[in-house]
Structure 1
Amino acid sequence: MNFLLNKYFMDLSGGRIKYLIIEEHIKKLIDKNKIEDGEKLPSIRELSQFLKVNNITIVNAYKRLKSEGYAVQKMGSGTYAKRKDMNRNLNREYSRALKKIFSSEIGDYIDFTGETSSGEFFKINLFKDVLNEVLDRDGPRALIYQEPLGYEGLRKSISDIFWKGNINKEDILIISGAQQGIDVVSKSILNTNDSVIVEKPTYSGALSVFRSRRSEIVEIPVEKNGVNVDKLEKILQKNNIKCFYTMSYFQNPSGISYNNDKKSRILRLAEIYDFYIIEDDYLSELIYDSNIKYNSFKSLDHNDRVVYIKSFSKIFLPGIRIGYLIPPKKFKENIQNSKINTDIATSSLMQRALDLYIRKGMWKDYINTLNIKYKDIYIYTEECITEYLKDKIDFIKPGGGLHFYLKIKDNVKIDSINLFRKARDKGVLITPGSLYYKNPLEGKKYFKIGFSHISKENIKKGIQILNKLMII
């Protein structure tokens, strides 16, 4: 710590305000994680002697750090570093911008922030017929009757059609989307200060949930086919890990998918080191690359180590908040009780309608349609990125899903946060990568573009605008 400060403060003369210089540099060290979050700062006397300044200079520097959220004082213990929550501020700015735009003038924007399938491909009249059939069949029960685990018919459909009967319907819990699933699981499994491993980068909603549980979040970078399993084991050897949160297909935001070898190795580690895998099965229905085969962690799980979470909202209709969760037997009762305490039950009418929709084969037809439509748009988006941004970005082809994750090359004179702001002013919306990292600074060279709600014409136009903003 002292060495880091001494490197920059050998000369504090020249009329500059010394405490401002010290404060600014400590802030930079905290932001860059050279001073870790929670690390104790030197005492006032120790630092003043080391830098050859008076005590008041250090007192003023520490006061400013505390007022700006970069330090906390613990009575009788000292002053400790605190990384300012840049994600919270950026999230707030990002959310406010989108709310303002969506509430009035979204038609004027090219929106690359979409993360759900477009309603354009959904045959609403067919679904209306299904709703009417459910109401005619079940009458008031469709609106009133609630089952704590979810509608039995839907749970049986999920068991029969999605799991070929290999998962008992009694082990399936209907939830109101994946976000609720992550929250319910966290409340049931995690205690304060338990350690959770997450992929780096990862879904910002999961980070928020784990932070709310006051969990110790340990990041591990994703590679082409998933996390580095050797590095994962080294973390497991040194830490008592409770859970590993993963998105097994077309990970949000990186777009990577795990191969079977890595899944099997991670499942073995879960048994050896006694941790549980929270599998968020994000968009595995949309596979465009024939080399990618579908096998979830859960389907390979022989030791009951996987908490499986699946949302229908992303792929079906966002307004229909339905998903399901398959817990390990050890946590089954706790997770079920946590869900019931959260909202008692998910919409009975929509559960019954979705059940009938699946039973009639409409779900399968709809997914086939989406694969055909989105594969074409996916290929076109990739061609536009390659043609207009090839000298400015790097990316891994995801082979499925609804987005691309792009890394800005070092020769480009803009980061993703400023690109988001400048693009917004030009009528283009992107998602800055900083939202997906525990330390936002690590995501400043990345951004995500989704193609699920945009015409080909606007995809090309939007990428051309981004190209002009990314100056080499």
Structure 2
Amino acid sequence: MDKYRLIFNEEVNKYIQLYAHIKHLIEINQIEDEEKLPSIRELADFLHLNKVTVINAYKKLQMEGYANQKIGSGTYAKKKDAIRGFKKSYSATFKRLNSGKLNDMIDFTGETTSADFFPVADLKAVLNDVLDRDGAEALIYQDALGYERLRERINEKFWGNSLDYDDILIVSGAQQGIDIVSKALINVNDNIIVEKPTYSGALSVFKSRKANIFEVPIENDGVDLDALKAILKKNKIKCFYFMSYFQNPSTVSYSDYKKQELLKLAEEHDFFIIEDDYLSELIYDSDIKYSSMKSFDRYDRVVYIKSFSKIFLPGIRIGYLICPKEYKDSVQNSKVNTDISTSSLMQRALEMYMERDYWIEHIKLLNIKYKERYEFMKKEIEVKLSGKIDFSPPGGGLHFYLRLSEKISLTTIELFYKLRERGVLITPGVMFYKHSNQGERYFKVGFSQTDCDKIEKGIDIIADILIEAER
């Protein structure tokens, strides 16, 4: 009963305080799933409360999905909904962070490059030159497929003019690209496969399409092919979604062997592959060589999605996709139905930015700066979290994916709340799985928004909490 002890603030309704306290205990696993809560009389006596106060607190817990009343038995905690409640809490924290209200926090959740490295001078010069060259035309709606010269420039700079530029579709970032492709390819009850774990934004899109989602575990060079083949043997699959480099969150990069095997399976079993080319510009380990799955795609099975927002110009929502000719029209129609056009001015600016090769120098700078942070954080983790976590250094990207050792009594949801109280934000693994009860031993720490001083301080705080949990 001692965990229910609570010091009340006389200025706040007591049933609200009791509700919030029990909710927090459920979220941090101090109250387990299906654990019976104290009876109304018992809790009222323990806290010296009116029974109506406890009744109202229990009713609110039930309304919010944190408890379930069983007639004649009592009230029981609902842990599954507690994880859903955590996700709402995480989302609210993230929104406050993005609005600038948590600037004093050490942010290990960031997924885009830091504004500190934003090429303001180059972009300002390009924008001025675009407006001088094109005038008001730069501000009008563009072709729904995207600014023609930008599509030509992408074909030239990234694909060696090996494509028909009409096969390139400009989109407002990778997330919109996934959404557009899903609307074009996936219908209700279609079967799709994702990595386990996988990017939460993609999971949300596939769930919104009411698809049947199969998960395949990731090995150190890509998905488990045997597990994938077992699913393909029993089910008709529409598509497979994956990240080819520094996968979010696992940090795994695919071997060329597995890329080629996946393409063979796609042709053999008649499904399509959605390749989310995530952070492949940031390679720090010389043993890792870049080759997209799309570059091996002799069967025309790959939908390739690339965002410029993550790397070149954070905050400017521009990306592109290339899709198989079979779905070209439906994907383009899906884009038109989603929005009229991606920003004309920004497309023209990006085209000039590429034409002048500013992007090459910018990527070189990012690789230098982020390799420094990567090596520093890697060493901090290896030294200060040794024996408390397990991880595999990814050799690139912007984050590490850590697993708590078995001797640590916390879940990463509990760790999240404890760290937040001390000014540090992480991303627990539950955000990356189809089922909410998975991933509680994993968490992601990124270094895109933190310099080395903040990395050192943040890892020190994590180490303090894990040492206490180990005791």
**TM-score where L is the length of structure 2:** 0.82
In percent, how many aligned pairs have the same letter?
A: 56
Q: Which residue of 2 aligns with 1:37?
A: none
Aligned: 1:385 with 2:377:
no
Q: Which residue of 2 aligns with 1:167?
A: 163
Among 401, 407, 410, the alignment partner of 1:411 is 407
Q: Give the 3-state SS of the residue equivalent to 2:321 in structure 1.
A: strand
What is the CA–CA distance in structure 1 between the aligned matches of 2:232 and 2:385, rounded to whole Å?
39
Map 1:126-145 to 2 at 5 A: 126-145=122-141
What is the CA–CA distance in structure 2 between the aligned matches of 1:344 and 1:350, rounded to whole Å?
15
Per-residue displacement from partner, 1:134-178 (whole Å, max 9, x unpaired)? 001111110014111100010001001100011110000000001
Q: Give the 3-state SS of the residue equivalent to 1:140 in structure 2.
A: helix
1:85 offset after TM fit, Å? 6.0
What is the CA–CA distance in structure 1 between the aligned matches of 2:183 and 2:317, rounded to whole Å?
20
Aligned: 1:333 with 2:329:
yes
Map 1:340-355 to 2 at 5 A: 340-355=336-351
Q: Which residue of 2 aligns with 1:21?
A: none
Answer whether contact 1:385 1:463 (CA < 8 A) is retained: yes
Aligned: 1:290 with 2:272:
no
Among 149, 158, 171, the alignment partner of 2:145 is 149
Map 1:261-272 to 2 at 5 A: 261-272=257-268
Answer whether contact 1:87 1:435 (CA < 8 A) is retained: no
Judged with a 3 Å threshold, the aligned counterparts in structure 2 of structure 1 residues 70 and 164 are, in CA distance, closer, same or farther, namely farther
1:97 offset after TM fit, Å? 1.5
Amino acid of the structure 2 residue aligned with 1:195? N
What is the CA–CA distance in structure 1 between the aligned matches of 2:88 and 2:132, rounded to whole Å?
45
What is the CA–CA distance in structure 2 between the aligned matches of 1:469 and 1:66, rounded to whole Å?
33
Q: Which residue of 1 aligns with 2:416?
A: 420
Answer whether contact 1:155 1:169 (CA < 8 A) is retained: yes
1:424 offset after TM fit, Å? 0.3
Answer whether contact 1:312 1:321 (CA < 8 A) is retained: yes
1:212 offset after TM fit, Å? 0.4
Q: Give the 3-state SS of the residue equivalent to 1:94 in structure 2.
A: helix
Among 203, 206, 210, the alignment partner of 1:207 is 203
Amino acid of the structure 2 residue aligned with 1:197? I
1:83 offset after TM fit, Å? 10
Amino acid of the structure 2 residue aligned with 1:299? S
Among 291, 305, 312, the alignment partner of 1:309 is 305
Among 278, 289, 293, the alignment partner of 2:274 is 278
Q: Which residue of 2 aligns with 1:40?
A: none
What is the CA–CA distance in structure 1 between the aligned matches of 2:62 and 2:233, rounded to whole Å?
36
What is the CA–CA distance in structure 2 between the aligned matches of 1:89 and 1:451, rounded to whole Å?
27
Answer whether contact 2:413 2:440 (CA < 8 A) is retained: yes
Answer whether contact 1:200 1:220 (CA < 8 A) is retained: yes
Aligned: 1:176 with 2:172:
yes
Amino acid of the structure 2 residue aligned with 1:93? S
Aligned: 1:233 with 2:229:
yes
Aligned: 1:259 with 2:255:
yes
1:99 offset after TM fit, Å? 2.2
C-alpha RMSD of the superposition: 2.1
Q: Which residue of 2 aligns with 1:4?
A: none
Judged with a 3 Å threshold, the aligned counterparts in structure 2 of structure 1 residues 367 and 449 are, in CA distance, closer, same or farther, namely same
Aligned: 1:429 with 2:405:
no
What is the CA–CA distance in structure 2 between the aligned matches of 1:222 and 1:309, rounded to whole Å?
20
Answer whether contact 1:70 1:84 (CA < 8 A) is retained: no
What is the CA–CA distance in structure 2 between the aligned matches of 1:65 and 1:462, rounded to whole Å?
36
Q: Give the 3-state SS of the residue equivalent to 2:216 in structure 1.
A: strand
Aligned: 1:192 with 2:188:
yes
What is the CA–CA distance in structure 2 between the aligned matches of 1:211 and 1:83, rounded to whole Å?
21
What is the CA–CA distance in structure 1 between the aligned matches of 2:203 and 2:421, rounded to whole Å?
29
What is the CA–CA distance in structure 2 between the aligned matches of 1:85 and 1:137, rounded to whole Å?
56
Q: Give the 3-state SS of the residue equivalent to 2:257 in structure 1.
A: helix
Judged with a 3 Å threshold, the aligned counterparts in structure 2 of structure 1 residues 360 and 86 are, in CA distance, closer, same or farther, namely farther
Q: Which residue of 1 aligns with 2:72?
A: none
Answer whether contact 1:196 1:216 (CA < 8 A) is retained: yes
What is the CA–CA distance in structure 2 between the aligned matches of 1:359 and 1:278, rounded to whole Å?
28
Answer whether contact 2:304 2:323 (CA < 8 A) is retained: yes
Amino acid of the structure 1 residue aligned with 2:99? S
Judged with a 3 Å threshold, the aligned counterparts in structure 2 of structure 1 residues 83 and 153 are, in CA distance, closer, same or farther, namely farther
Per-residue displacement from partner, 1:408-456 (whole Å, max 9, x unpaired)? 0110011110101110000001011100011122110000001011110
Answer whether contact 2:80 2:436 (CA < 8 A) is retained: no
Aligned: 1:367 with 2:363:
yes
What is the CA–CA distance in structure 2 between the aligned matches of 1:147 and 1:85, rounded to whole Å?
45
Amino acid of the structure 1 residue aligned with 2:461? I
Amino acid of the structure 1 residue aligned with 2:304? Y
What is the CA–CA distance in structure 2 between the aligned matches of 1:401 and 1:166, rounded to whole Å?
27
Judged with a 3 Å threshold, the aligned counterparts in structure 2 of structure 1 residues 83 and 383 are, in CA distance, closer, same or farther, namely closer
Judged with a 3 Å threshold, the aligned counterparts in structure 2 of structure 1 residues 340 and 122 are, in CA distance, closer, same or farther, namely same
Answer whether contact 1:86 1:440 (CA < 8 A) is retained: no
Q: Give the 3-state SS of the residue equivalent to 1:417 in structure 2.
A: helix
What is the CA–CA distance in structure 2 between the aligned matches of 1:196 and 1:333, rounded to whole Å?
21
1:313 offset after TM fit, Å? 0.5
What is the CA–CA distance in structure 1 between the aligned matches of 2:352 and 2:341, rounded to whole Å?
19
Answer whether contact 1:90 1:435 (CA < 8 A) is retained: no
What is the CA–CA distance in structure 1 between the aligned matches of 2:346 and 2:415, rounded to whole Å?
40
Q: Which residue of 1 aligns with 2:212?
A: 216
What is the CA–CA distance in structure 1 between the aligned matches of 2:67 and 2:183, rounded to whole Å?
29
Amino acid of the structure 2 residue aligned with 1:312? F
**TM-score where L is the length of structure 1:** 0.82
Gaps of 5+ in 2: 1-32, 36-60, 69-77
What is the CA–CA distance in structure 1 between the aligned matches of 2:81 and 2:127, rounded to whole Å?
45
